[in-house]
Amino acid sequence: MSEISDLARELLAQSLAAWELSGRVCAQSDGAILVSCREMEIRIEAAAPGLPFRWMLSVDGRKRGAISLAAVLRQVRGALDPGYAITRVRIAALPPVEQ
């Protein structure tokens, strides 16, 4: 188990506690992380080389990519907490505003 995976696992466990969700975060023998909560399991593993993602999450049989641990946390919370409103920031170039 790599140090980054250990830190990610601890971050996920502490996040569940902060979100007041009861669950478990376990290391898998293949290096993946398994989050079990509310009768749901989320598998988090390192993305394959060459992908634009750092992490891959499997939620309800569907794989999703995440570019950062912040994105992993957002996806995990969105899957486990139906009342959580996921907000996304979009940055776009606009023409200058005249005053």
pLDDT digits (tens, 9 = 90+) for 33-42: 999 998 999 9
**Where does the pLDDT of residue 67 fall: very low under 50, low under 70, confident under 90, or very high at 90 and above?**
very high
Question: Order of strands across the sheet with 62-66?
Answer: 23-27, 33-37, 40-46, 55-59, 62-66
Backbone angles phi and psi of 46, in degrees to 5? -65, 140
Domain count, the chain: 1
Is residue 29 helix, strand or coil? coil
92 within domain boundaries: no
Supply the mean pLDDT for the chain: 88
21 within domain boundaries: yes
To the nearest 10°, the Cα dihedral for 74, 29, 5, 11? Answer: 50
Domain of residue 14, residue span: 3-80
Mean pLDDT of 72-86: 87
96 within domain boundaries: no
70 within domain boundaries: yes
% of the chain with per-residue pLDDT over 70 = 90
Would you state the pLDDT for residue 92?
73
- pTM for the whole structure: 0.79
95 within domain boundaries: no
CA distance 11 to 3: 12
Would you state the pLDDT for residue 98?
76
